[in-house]
Structure 1
């Protein structure tokens, strides 16, 4: 049984990004103290990249041994490798290029330069995930899913339509079973071709953090946390094994069910 959602509300998007960054640094330090290495799954979007910039600017970032952190992505736009709209390009500019992370620990999705279509890129990513899982299993790490390495923290954004990664309402991706990575065609948000983890893969993570800011996301947040179905509201289906944490600003919280506001945290990075 995966973890029920908890909500942490912050006054504005700037403080929210700083809080996500502070939580991430703290959690990575704790994980490395337990195990030595840690794995993060990154997201794009304004808040996701803003949180990475906040990590880069934080004096506390030096507490993390970045040489022992693996970075994967939840989804990617199927574009040329250097395209500025790619999540990986933005993440490198915001944070990764400022850290001493070995190249072999940064696991980008394949690009349109490397593969002829998004399905080939998806198959490649699934293969690399499987290889990483085999290596971890051989080292004695207990895995939630034998097809996937251990994801300690998986970051997600949420669209106004409640999509997560590149899993959109009512489309084939959110309905996919038995696969870890899919190619996406006909995305309602440009570009139309993308690559994404499936909900099965996302929900293998120990902790899922959904970062959401803005009034335009309030309806999606409200529906997701009111118990909507994941096919119609993909964000409702994201549940970490140990923790599911919604990190949102006041604007995004404006349509939350009252019980969640009463039980949620307010502006707490711990």
Structure 2
């Protein structure tokens, strides 16, 4: 389930706050540049502490209004299969931190389904894949992911069958080692269609997994994701301490 990193670059910032601020500026600049040559930009947003802080920094940035947000489509790499409005949902956190402050058309926001809408996570996964296909199977310009202390990205966990042997482009995840236990996730292969994959992480609790991932440890899901044009690790000094 792993692939070699393409044009990998590791950028180390002094602390988590700088990771968020710098990543926000990088994303905004990349969107502006993308929309000068394309009519549409597609991005995957991440959750997590640093990820949501990054989204808040995007919302607060003076560069925010340089982006034509009506031409931006927003996706997620994974979602917790809980009720709509549950604070655990990535899309709700992103809505509060960023999307509520931007003129992104509702039809451009591609949320993964909840237990309010679907009986099973399998149904939610199938609906998300159908949405992706209906949109013409876009290639994401930027796919952003946080990384857990165990090296998981999206809801792809070490040793979990969905990571090790999963073959579905969008999968239901049961018995997640991190609660909530039921989730929906993109596969490694689908993620790796992105032009650029960014891993955004901070904290010394991530250092061991980052070191293993950067050395190509195949047991670490973060080592498996890569962009076709670039793979960026945007991390702080504490997270880079063992690399």
Normalising TM by the smaller chain, what interval? over 0.9
Matched, 1:96 2:85: no
Aligned counterpart for 2:156 among listed residues 161, 167, 190: 167
Provide the rounded CA distance (Å) in 1 between the counterparts of 2:229 and 2:6: 5
Instruction: Please state how far the C-alpha of 1:176 moved relative to its aligned partner.
Output: 4.0
Provide the rounded CA distance (Å) in 2 between the counterparts of 1:83 and 1:123: 21
Task: Answer whether contact 1:179 1:200 (CA < 8 A) is retained.
Answer: no
Corresponding residue of 2:198:
209
Matched, 1:189 2:192: no
Task: Answer whether contact 1:156 1:211 (CA < 8 A) is retained.
Answer: yes
Task: Answer whether contact 2:5 2:225 (CA < 8 A) is retained.
Answer: no
Aligned counterpart for 1:240 among listed residues 227, 235, 243: 227
Instruction: Please state how far the C-alpha of 1:31 moved relative to its aligned partner.
Output: 0.3
After superposition, residues 16-95 of structure 1 pair within 5 angstroms as: 16-95=19-98
After superposition, residues 144-163 of structure 1 pair within 5 angstroms as: 148-163=137-152
Provide the rounded CA distance (Å) in 2 between the counterparts of 1:57 and 1:32: 21
1:91-127 CA distance string (max 9 Å, x none) = 0000000000100000000001011111110011011
Change in CA separation of 1:91 and 1:79 when aligned onto 2, cut-off 3 Å: same
Instruction: Please state how far the C-alpha of 1:84 moved relative to its aligned partner.
Output: 1.0
Name the TM-score, length of structure 1 as normaliser: 0.87
The runs of at least 4 consecutive aligned structure 1 residues that moved more than 3 Å come to: none
Provide the rounded CA distance (Å) in 1 between the counterparts of 2:168 and 2:11: 31
Instruction: Please state how far the C-alpha of 1:22 moved relative to its aligned partner.
Output: 0.3
Corresponding residue of 1:261:
none
Aligned positions, number: 240
Secondary structure class of the residue paired with 1:211: strand
Provide the rounded CA distance (Å) in 1 between the counterparts of 2:122 and 2:198: 27
1:20-60 CA distance string (max 9 Å, x none) = 10000000000000112101001110011100000000011
Task: Answer whether contact 1:150 1:205 (CA < 8 A) is retained.
Answer: yes
What 5-or-longer segments of structure 2 have no aligned partner?
A: none
Provide the rounded CA distance (Å) in 1 between the counterparts of 2:162 and 2:234: 25
What 5-or-longer segments of structure 1 have no aligned partner?
A: 134-147, 257-270
Task: Answer whether contact 1:41 1:155 (CA < 8 A) is retained.
Answer: yes
Provide the rounded CA distance (Å) in 2 between the counterparts of 1:47 and 1:73: 16
RMSD value, Cα:
1.0
